[in-house]
Amino acid sequence: MVIRWASRNHGWGPWFRLKQFPFLQGGAMLRGQTMATKFFSSNGQAIRQFLACLCFFLVAACFFTPALSVQGVSAAIQGTVRDSSGAVIPGAMITVTSTETNLQRTAISNDAGFFSVPDLPPSKYRIEVSGQGFQTRVMENVELVVGQELVLNTALQIGQITQQVTITSEAPLVDATSTWQVSGLVAERQVKDLPLNGRSFDNLIALNPVMVNSSAIKQTTSSSTGPGNYFSVGGRRPGENIFLWNGVEYPGGTSAISSTPGGVSGELLGIEAVREFNVVPNMDAAEFGHRAGGQVTIVTQSGTNTFHGSAYEFLRNSALDSRNFFDHQLQPTDPRIPPFKRNQFGGSAGAPIQKDKTFVFVNYEGFRQAWDLPKVAIVPDAQARQGFLPCGISGLPCGSNAPGTEVRVPGFNPAVAPYFGLWPDPNGPELGGGTAYSYNTTPNPVREDFGIVKLDRTFSSKDTFSASYTIDDGSNVGTGQNPFSAVTNIERAQVLSLSEIHVFSPSTVNSFTAGFSRVWFRYFYSVSISPAGVEPFVVGKPPGQINIGGTQGSTAITPAGSGPNTGHDQLNIDNIYTYQDNVRITKGIHSIALGGWAERLQSNDLSGTYGQTNFPSLFSFLQGKPSLFQVTQPAPPIPFRVWMGAWFVQDSIRLRSNLTLSVGLRHEFSKGYHAKALWPPCGHSLGSVWERPDERSGRLRHGLQSAGQHRLVLHQRSSHRGSFADHQ
């Protein structure tokens, strides 16, 4: 259950929201309904209502809410130490040692026999539990995964401390990874062993029941969606998810607001570098926030005391592919199907630099794809290119000619002739009305390179440090239905993560993370041909969009090299600076987590314009009479800046061995987006499409000019959120 208190800069708006989350234990699921009640009073009625609701929530929380566990890029162990009779053992020593790096952490059970070891890196561990007058209990090969809180209740037998009872396990002894919500872990074995076309490991997110790959509904790649996959978590919008790469936001290859990270290949490369990842579908615990959707936490591999590595090459080609319906052999020497070849290659290595102290891991993956895509375009036929159209069908009067006879278009404008070069020649069936099909195959090359370097350092049992740098760089060239129109995407995404964990005492642990994410993305149209006599609508740009209404129902003809009027000469440069610090304290029956998060977003966007002209029909195009011509003023670079942050505190109170009450509060704030854009003086002369509008032309024309300075500020907004939960 969750209580939220929200405030805004223009005044307090008291409200509360009660929500019963899915309760998944013992095979039962209870789903409540959301209730929002607004209350206010000057005689204290609101306070009485609030206290009454709070008491109700505290009682209900004991029955309807699962437990709280550690999230982020680490794991934790907690439990109770007892003797063979069931009595608790205070002062027992718990020693946790990583078998991969020899990192060692200790804890001491309190008067209730309870212990907690937070902020452990995912690894395989050896756990020793010892107490005065009891045999030492040793558990081997206990694997901790990201986001897991292992509940380890241990019973010690009376005996000498030098006597050991050893238990070997290849899997966690108790699986207690879920918290308030059902979290979805994709473990290392699944990441490595499950086959994936394209080796995009984010496809494994759909293994969880509340996550759906909704990429099929994504219309096209843009600055807000990106080229990667599209996921809906718990029915929420894909744009509400957040991806953390070693604890730092991974925005992807297009902009800071992309739904899913991913390069120009459409794949999320680096599967050899991924150890495991965890998906939290509901972020209603106090330590979560920033986005309303799911949180995907990805943890990469690290070096160990033993050398490990891999080398790989994956090949996919068209040797056994079947022919597409639209594949046409235009020449006898053409291949049966368009050629396709994809190579994914690379290697990884992890090793110690200094045994038990310093470790390094590196990974590189290359992606190369050559694919000739079949394209079907509707183009003017050979007669239309000479100024002839069938009478009657195309709107031409037939006179003494029979309907369908090719006749010269009256008022044919020879200035339009060069623009026919923007269409490929017809080579398929004629559609009538001066149009025909054109079948072509166009190359769509893709190049992408992914790399990561990670360094881990253990200064002592109380101090560990980790640093990683990731880069994803690539480019691709594609076309629309018209093979002469090329769309080029160039991207570079980078993530730098620095983290340090300090153990003040067995009961107090601090973790600090600082990170930097950068996205550089360019998206533009170009023309693969340069017909003589074709003038661009905007100086220095490719020919703009020319739309010609079709003659076959709603069929329209769009020439190559046009691209939409605006937004397709686009450059995004976004920087994200992240700082986060969390402290976890165990005191008696209390396990307290508190921390803060701050983020600085710098978004620099620039988009251009090519211009656009529309003709109602092929008949009007041949006459050079457009129905619309427009050029949108190019927007100047818009540098958005914003500071965002949050602080939270959460207490998990262990009331009994089978009952824990979790209470938390989170406050998020934003200083608001600030942008200062200078709009330079500009002018557009709107005249005939087919003439050059320069100073030597004596024709009267109208124009557009604007100049000035604009500043955009979106005001501050803050929100407070309280929460409590329990589990049995």
Domains belonging to the chain, first-starting first, are: 1-64+655-728 (no CATH), 75-168 (2.60.40.1120), 190-307 (2.170.130.10)
Where does the pLDDT of residue 27 fall: very low under 50, low under 70, confident under 90, or very high at 90 and above? very low
Query: What mean pLDDT is predicted for residues 435-454?
Result: 90
- Asked if pLDDT for residue 561 goes beyond 60, the answer is no
pLDDT tens digit sequence for 682-691: 444 444 444 4
Is residue 165 within 8 Å of 136, Cβ to Cβ?
Answer: yes
- Span 64-82, average pLDDT: 66
pLDDT at 278 over 90: no
Average pLDDT over residues 548-552: 62
> pLDDT for 608-642, tens place per residue?
777 888 888 888 889 988 888 888 776 677 788 88
Alpha-carbon torsion, ordered 458, 459, 462, 467, to 10 deg:
-50
Name the DSSP class of 204. G
Strands 248-249 and 242-245: antiparallel
Please, which residues have CB within 8 angstroms of residue 612's CB and are 6 or more apart in sequence? 537, 544, 545, 546, 547, 562, 564, 565, 628, 629, 630, 631
Backbone angles phi, psi at 63, to 5 degrees: -120, -20
Q: How confident is the model over 333-348, as a mean pLDDT?
A: 86
Residue 25 three-state SS: strand
414, exposed or middle or buried, with CB in 10 Å at 0-12, 13-18, 19+? exposed
d(C-alpha 261, C-alpha 719), whole Å: 28
pLDDT of residue 318 exceeding 60, the answer is: yes
- Banded pLDDT at 52 (limits 50, 70, 90): low
Rounded to 5 degrees, what are φ and ψ at 357? -125, -55
3-class SS shares of the chain: helix, strand, coil, % to 5 = 10, 50, 40
- Mean pLDDT, the chain, whole residue set: 75
pTM, full prediction: 0.75
For residues 476 and 185, which has the higher predicted lDDT (pLDDT)?
476
Say if residues 218 and 278 touch (Cβ distance below 8 Å).
no
Percentage of residues in the chain having pLDDT higher than 90: 22
Q: How far apart are CA 637 and CA 635, in angstroms?
A: 7
Better-predicted residue by pLDDT, 411 or 607: 411
Given a cut of 50, whether residue 538 has pLDDT beyond it is yes
Query: Which of 34-43, 164-173, 515-524 shows the lowest mean pLDDT across its residues?
Result: 34-43
Q: Which residue has the higher pLDDT, 652 or 62?
A: 652
pLDDT tens profile 485-521: 778 889 999 999 999 999 998 889 999 999 999 989 8
Tell me the two tokens of residue 52.
């009454």
| Extended beta strands in 318-405, E state | 340-354, 358-380, 388-390
Of 224 and 385, more confident: 385
- pLDDT exceeds cutoff 60 at 371: yes
pLDDT for the residue numbered 699: 36
pLDDT of residue 594: 93
Asked if residues 261 and 493 have their Cβ atoms less than 8 Å apart, the reply is yes
At residue 666's C-alpha, the angle toward residues 661 and 670, to 5°, is: 170
Residue 695 pLDDT greater than 50, yes or no:
no
Write phi, then psi, for 468 (nearest 5 degrees).
Answer: -145, 145
497 close to 468: Cβ distance less than 8 angstroms:
yes
Q: pLDDT band at 314, cuts 50/70/90?
A: very high
pLDDT for res 694: 44
Beta strands in 145-262 (DSSP E): 149-151, 154-156, 164-168, 184-186, 211-213, 231-233, 242-245, 248-249
